[in-house]
Amino acid sequence: MALVTLEGVGKTYRGRTGAWEAVRDFTLDLAEGEFFCLLGTSGCGKTTVLNMVAGFEQPTAGRILLDGRPVDRPGADRGVVFQGHDSLYDWLTALDNIAFGLRLRGMGRGERRAKAEHYLKMVGLTGQGAKHPSELSGGMKQRIQIARALANDPRILLMDEPFGALDAMTRAVLQGELSRIWAETRKTVLFITHDIEEAVALATRVGVMKRGPGGTLKAVIPIDLPFPRERTSDAFMAAFREVHALIHDEIHGAH
């Protein structure tokens, strides 16, 4: 059984300016342990899809199942990592940010601390736990967000362009780190990006979305390359070209 199932999912927003069909007939099964990158141009509905899986938004058509049960609200079984780092609590240290969800679940202080330290180490920030978010770089804040999400041991990690605001070098470093962490934990990941290279570097499968209105899945491409991935290899370039060819029409406006 798939871990997450999206069955004919649609989302029409209704607001003051009328109705906008952001997503139409989106169908996808996510298997346990896979790293699925959802790729598409700006406004095609990627965030809307992720927000529905997260339970922040409700589909207006179709349904979403997690472990066979309908998703109708946010839950600790889904860990969300956003692009910005505003979701970290400024008044808490990095370590306490990581431990926040554990505290809510009633875990004792010692166990909480040990777990938070474990994930701090996993994201390469051992020794930085006493700093507050304002004392951390953008890349470090994203690492803390990832550690916090993992600490809650969710069934799936939902990542919405988590490296979108970072400079190219930091971004490449964090992509490598995330790939290593995924190989270590085999956590199921749904990762949103509009960066083809990022998708090919990280994913076991890439889903390319068609432009909206009515954004939907246009194709799913398995990326059967070993990790860690060598971006200058012929096989990587071939996969890049395959995905690029699919998204080309979306970028250049043809339908």
Ligand X SMILES: Nc1ncnc2c1ncn2[C@@H]1O[C@H](COP(=O)(O)OP(=O)(O)OP(=O)(O)O)[C@@H](O)[C@H]1O
**Which residues face 81 on adjacent strands?**
159
By beta-carbon proximity to ligand X, the closer residue of 50 and 102 is 50
Which part of the chain contacts ligand X (CB under 6 A), choosing from 38-46, 65-73, 172-180, 230-238? 38-46
Q: Cβ 247 to ligand X, closest distance in Å?
A: 12
User: Interface with ligand X includes 58 (CB under 6 A)?
Assistant: no
Shortest reach from residue 91's CB to ligand X, in Å:
29
24 binds ligand X (CB under 6 A): no
State which of residues 3, 5, 36, 45 lies at the interface with ligand X (CB under 6 A): 45
How is residue 207 written in tokens? 């889903």
**Interface residue with ligand X, options 12, 25, 32, 43 (CB under 6 A):** 43
Best CA proximity match to 137, nearest among 169, 168, 173, 170: 170
> Rounded to an integer, what distance in angstroms lies between the CA atom of residue 65 and that of residue 30?
10
- Residues that bind ligand X (rule: CB under 6 A) add up to a total of 14
CA nearest 164: which of 183, 180, 187, 145? 145
Calpha distance 80→148 (Å, rounded): 9
| CA torsion angle 151 153 157 163 (round to 10) | 10
Cβ atoms of residues 210 and 39 within 8 Å:
no
- Residue 42 binds to ligand X (criterion: CB under 6 A): yes
Closest to ligand X by CB, 174 vs 192, is 192
Positions in 193-232 near ligand X (CB under 6 A): 194, 212
Token pair, residue 204, equals 């076991």
Residue with Cβ nearer ligand X (82 or 119) = 82
Distance separating alpha carbons of residues 249 and 239, to the nearest angstrom: 17
Residue with smaller CB distance to ligand X, 62 or 212: 212
Residue 13 touches ligand X, criterion: CB under 6 A: yes
For residues 84 and 138, which CB has a smaller minimum distance to ligand X in the complex?
A: 84
| Strand pairing class (156-160; 188-193) | parallel
Binding-site member from 3, 28, 30, 47 for ligand X (CB under 6 A): 47
Q: Is 175 in the site for ligand X (CB under 6 A)?
A: no
3-class SS of residue 123: coil
Q: By CB under 6 A, name the binding residues for ligand X.
A: 13, 15, 20, 22, 40, 42-48, 194, 212
